[in-house]
Chain A
């Protein structure tokens, strides 16, 4: 007998929330928002301000949900602020690290990132150094009191001294606007007109993961604003010495799978990269070197300072030089030797690996704030660590409580093999591909694939819009905020004249039966074992080296797991049910990824994927791969890179569709 079942039978303790598997709540609205993170919150506020009846569903707690739920220390991509050096039309043409990110959503983000930040200020977020704490600092504009980060000359990234409260501020604004919010409701399906795949989206179903209550939403328009799928290749929290793969457990790829099953078009779904394998979280103790900790001084075990150099090999003589452009450079945006030359920031010296191996610098290294200029130390070990998600409590407060003093103590960095020093980030490189080992891949921190949206941010299905991370190529907080606003304006415009159709009761009944089957079972697999099984399939059959035979075997495996183990998985309460549904979603994402990868008959250097049967690199192919369900068949297709470039003019298309 399984011990948990034994304990459950013996103990008198009951589930603390009222169980309501037989209860159903129905709602009717103009705009239904699925996922209440940054994109969803901005979408909800925008739609409500324009008079729409808005409902938001979130499987977490909206007040703190999403990638920015516990804060954000900087707001990048600001090119429309007074004094911004480069106009959006210039920035959009700058080279990118990601050749598979469509320009239109990027352009929307560039156009509205600063407006979104001002909107946050209007709702009460502190975005300026109001109390003149950093008066005269080289990163501060004394007129506007804005504090810039990383690139002190072209000033496109703003530090947010109140960033920790970003979701709280948005949540309070949503409450003020009377937006209906449901926490802990896991959306399980999109409902379509007459239950037909590919037809207009008319609502959604969900289940409360505390009570088991079922939800049926009827909506004129639906905006998907969930996260991108994470933890596909590695899941367990216990695995790696200095940590396991530790992405947000809620990010299963819900929006993508909901849309996929309804028949919407996705693209670039095989976009992933070799992963850091989970050293990212402790990274936040000592690193995240490309932003939060930049440009901290690094010393070796003997206290010898590691020099910095700019992109041209010129050594940074002073601390300030680390934040300055190279001669002739217009703007810098990302660190590391692999970022485009045009945008590359100063980093630690490029030959650090050799100099460690020769014994010149000794491990371990330390972040030495003691010798940094006073305002730089205070802004790092205060504003930045105090506001970035997952650093305020886990890093800043934990260290402070334990007695760490940035004025006299040096914080140790992870001890990593020398080849990972400075390849992707300014110094010790916890995001560096390869640390996780072969076949451990990732979708985080890059522009992932996802939903295809048009210039209205509408998906390929009528009535369905999308914003934020699960839109193909959209990544980062300012982009989430900008696309949330923009998608909502278009959704409201559509809802003004759209007819509302009834949901299909047959579709609702089918979905309810499917979802509740996991709690109507006496015994079976637990969700974790199935999740770990899925991870192994992804490692082996959707790893760094692929071929038709290998991937087809992967698809066979996933299908077999769906029909056997997943079909016999048991949830012992509504919380467990949410986890099973996450596994179901990740399994579907795995299938979509394999189908997409099969459709790409070339290797991709930028993704780090070798097709053993098609070894030639095809990154210059000039098109995006798409796929969608048509009936029960998978349809694959191509969209040219310039698909959204109407007349070669982003601004014209933006002005025409932005609904402002």
Chain B
């Protein structure tokens, strides 16, 4: 199906989305919002919903939002593409990397 996006929006900040949420797990407790040293997220105006990642370009990628999240797997730090690196399986020589990790 053709999505045909045509939003009246500025270009996305880079890195785009430093932390991503699994909406089915996040309870909107905003603990991640409150432990963030940079106030990168703002509480969702809709109660119980995941925070809005408003200032992703100010993120220090410390990971406190993930460390202190009370729900396992509700959020994830999205390692920026320009900081990803490969690894090699010694026995086979196969190359791996951290791939696309946006949550559904």
Is the C-beta of A584 less than 8 angstroms from some C-beta in chain B? no
In the bound complex, do residue A408 and residue B43 qualify as a contact, i.e. CB atoms below 8 Å apart?
no
Query: What are 15 A-B pairs with beta-carbon distances under 8 A?
Result: A61-B37, A69-B64, A70-B64, A248-B37, A249-B60, A281-B83, A282-B83, A366-B87, A390-B61, A393-B63, A402-B101, A409-B87, A410-B89, A412-B85, A412-B87
Verify if B23 is at the interface (C-beta below 8 Å from A).
Answer: no
When A61-B34, A238-B14 are in contact, do A409 and B96 touch as well, CB less than 8 Å?
A: yes
Is B104 interfacial (CB-CB < 8 Å)? no
B35 to chain A, nearest CB (A): 5
Interface of A is mostly: loop
Nearest 4 pairs of A and B residues by beta carbon:
A393-B63, A60-B37, A64-B64, A282-B83
| Of the residues B34, B60, B80, B87, contact of A404 by C-beta under 8 Å | B87
With known contacts A281-B61, A392-B63, A210–B39 Cβ distance under 8 A: yes
B102 in contact (CB, < 8 A): no
Q: A60-B37, A69-B37, A69-B62 are in contact. Are A393 and B67 (CB under 8 A)?
A: yes
CB of B98 within 8 Å of the partner chain:
yes
Is B38 interfacial (CB-CB < 8 Å)? yes
Q: Beyond the given A16-B45, A246-B60, A404-B87, please list 15 additional residue pairs across the A-B interface where CB-CB is below 8 A.
A: A14-B45, A61-B34, A61-B37, A64-B37, A70-B63, A237-B58, A241-B82, A242-B82, A281-B61, A390-B60, A392-B63, A397-B63, A397-B77, A402-B101, A409-B90
Question: Is A16 a contact partner of B42 (Cβ separation < 8 A)?
Answer: yes
The answer, yes or no, to whether A564 is at the interface (CB within 8 Å) is no
Contact B57 A411 (CB under 8 A): no
Closest Cβ of chain B: how far from A231's Cβ, in Å?
A: 11
Other-chain contact of A303, B45, B79, B83, B90 (Cβ < 8 Å) = B90
**Which residues of A approach B to under 8 Å, CB–CB?**
3-4, 13-14, 16, 60-61, 63-65, 69-70, 164, 183-184, 209-210, 237-238, 240-243, 246, 248-250, 281-282, 285-286, 303, 366, 368, 370, 389-390, 392-394, 397-399, 401-404, 408-414, 575, 578-579
Chain B residues in contact with chain A, CB under 8 A? 10, 14-15, 34-39, 42-43, 45, 55, 57-64, 66-68, 76-77, 79-80, 82-91, 96-99, 101
Q: How many Cβ-Cβ contacts under 8 Å join chain A to chain B?
A: 132
Q: Given A237-B14, A402-B98, verify A409-B88 contact (CB < 8 Å).
A: yes
Are A237 and B37 in contact, with the CB atoms below 8 A? no
A303 to B64, CA, bound (A): 36
A540 to chain B, nearest CB (A): 24
Nearest neighbor of B37 in chain A, beta-carbon distance: A60
List the B side residues contacting A3 at CB < 8 Å: 10
> What CA separation (Å) do A60 and B36 show in the bound complex?
7
Given the contacts A70-B67, A402-B96, A60 and B90 also touching, CB distance less than 8 Å: no
Q: Complex formed: what's the CA distance from A238 to B18 in Å? A: 13
| Residue in B37, B39, B79 whose beta carbon sits within 8 Å of that of A394 in the complex | B79
B62 touches A246 (CB 8 A): no
> Quick one: closest B residue to A285, CB to CB?
B85
B90 with A410: CB separation less than 8 A: yes
A649 vs B15: C-alpha distance when bound (angstroms): 52
Residue in B39, B79, B91 with the greatest tally of chain A CB atoms within 10 Å: B39
Contact: A392 with B67, CB < 8 Å? yes
In the bound complex, how far is the Cα of B97 from the Cα of A394, in angstroms?
14
Q: Known: A246-B61, A393-B66, A398-B98. Contact between A63 and B89, CB under 8 A?
A: no
A63 adjacent to B45 (CB under 8 Å): no
Q: Assuming A392-B63, A392-B67, is B36 touching A61 (CB within 8 A)?
A: yes
Bound Cα distance from A652 to B55, whole angstroms? 51
Report A442 CB to chain B, min CB distance, Å: 16
Minimal Cβ-Cβ distance residue in A for B95: A412
**Which of chain B's residues has its CB closest to A164's CB?**
B67
- A250 and B37 form a contact (CB under 8 A): yes
> B37 touching A412 by the CB < 8 A rule?
no
Q: What residues of chain B lie closer than 8 Å to A368, measured between beta carbons?
A: 90
Bound form: Cα–Cα A237–B35 in Å:
21
Q: Are B96 and A404 within 8 A (Cβ)?
A: yes
Minimum CB–CB distance for A35 against chain B, Å:
12
Give A481 Cβ to nearest chain B Cβ, in Å. Answer: 19
The winner among B43, B57, B82 for most chain A CB atoms within 10 A is B82
Q: How far is the CA of A281 from the CA of B77 in the complex (A)?
A: 14
Q: Are the CB atoms of A16 and B43 closer together than 8 Å? A: yes
Most-contacted residue by chain A among B63, B66, B80, B88 (CB, 10 A):
B63
In the bound complex, CA of A368 to CA of B89 (Å): 10
Provide the residues of chain B in CB contact with A575, threshold 8 Å.
39, 55
Nearest CB to that of A165 among chain B residues? B67
| B60 neighbours in A (Cβ, 8 Å) | 246, 248-249, 390
A394 x B61 contact (CB < 8 A): yes
Q: How far is the CA of A250 from the CA of B62 in the complex (A)?
A: 13
CB-defined contacts of A412 to chain B, threshold 8 Å? 85-88
Assembled-state Cα–Cα distance A279/B87 (Å): 18
Q: Do A398 and B15 touch across chains, with their CB atoms under 8 A apart?
A: no
Give the residues in chain B near A414, CB-CB below 8 Å. Answer: 85
Assess whether B35 is in contact with A242, with CB atoms less than 8 Å apart. Answer: no
Q: Bound complex: CA of A404 vs CA of B82, how far in Å?
A: 19
B77 nearest in chain A by CB position: A393
Chain A nearest CB, measured from B98 CB (Å): 5
User: In the complex, how many angstroms separate the beta carbon of A369 from the nearest chain B beta carbon?
Assistant: 10
Contact in complex: A64, B66 (CB < 8 Å): no
Contact B63 A394 (CB under 8 A): yes
Q: Which residue of B lies closest to A299 (CB)?
A: B90
A579-B35 Cα distance, complex, nearest whole Å: 18
CA distance A286 to B39 in the complex (A): 28
Asked if A408 contacts B37 (CB within 8 A), the reply is: no
Write the chain A residue with the least CB distance to B99: A402
